[in-house]
Structure 1
């Protein structure tokens, strides 16, 4: 597999993470990580894939989320890789009868390993660069 092919596979992996989280597809999410993976961010650290899935269930208090993956720069060294990925994550929720939208400007710093030809996340660190929380303008379905 060429370096470009590996980098494309890594980009697809981080997009699959966003899709699994937004669709609350915890089985798909679990398949993206190694069993001993770590996911950490401001105020949380989940060690192991079971803890990651349990922790991500906390998104249930949002009616909808959308993670928009942007810049993704990966470095590949044989069967290991690292990347920094920019993301804007939108979270809709209700408070006092008002639908609100919490937006996060995120940078993920990731470590990956390729096992049997498939890339998996071994470590994901969520760095929160900014946030805003405003009443939603327009209809939310």
Structure 2
């Protein structure tokens, strides 16, 4: 894979994290193909089976809606391994630590989730987009945190 494509895919994952953290539904949608599929594991959808979200608007509304009740989020993107499938299509795995800050009593807690995105990318209209993201939860922890006074 061309280094410029690798850089573009890394930036795509970072922009997705930024859009979610900023609760920017339009930005999330712009990073996805029209027929994107996002697969949420049982740990994140509170059921016994994975759940699929389909279509860029549905995905964007659902993803941003899922974090909108939180005080703050921070999705920290780690390593990414990508392989070309065909011209204009690639597959990869992107690591992420997702911080979900919520209020409990007089303080705040961080529900941290170590996850991996199993990604499929498509090159469309001169840019790389997500066509599929399947989340895999490796582990989670819930810890007290101190928020800044801003």
Question: For structure 2, which runs of at least 5 residues remain unmatched after alignment?
Answer: 46-50
Query: What's the CA shift for 1:45?
Result: 2.2
Tell whether 2:33 aligns with 1:25.
no
SS of the equivalent of 1:61 reads coil
**Match of residue 82 from structure 1:** 91
User: Structure 1: which 4+ aligned runs deviate by more than 4 Å?
Assistant: none
- Using structure 2 for the length normalisation, give the TM-score: 0.87
Tell whether 2:15 aligns with 1:7.
no
Query: What's the CA shift for 1:98?
Result: 2.7
Tell whether 2:53 aligns with 1:54.
no
Output aligned runs, 1:1-141, within 5 Å.
3-42=2-41, 43=45, 44-56=51-63, 57-76=65-84, 77-136=86-145, 138-140=146-148, 141=150
Question: For structure 1, which runs of at least 5 residues remain unmatched after alignment?
Answer: none
Contact 2:108/2:147 (CA < 8 Å) preserved in 1?
no
How many angstroms apart in 2 are the aligned matches of 1:70 and 1:134? 21
The root-mean-square deviation of aligned C-alpha atoms, in Å, is 1.3
How many angstroms apart in 2 are the aligned matches of 1:40 and 1:62? 21
How many angstroms apart in 1 are the aligned matches of 2:127 and 2:144? 41
SS of the equivalent of 1:130 reads strand
Query: What's the CA shift for 1:41?
Result: 1.5
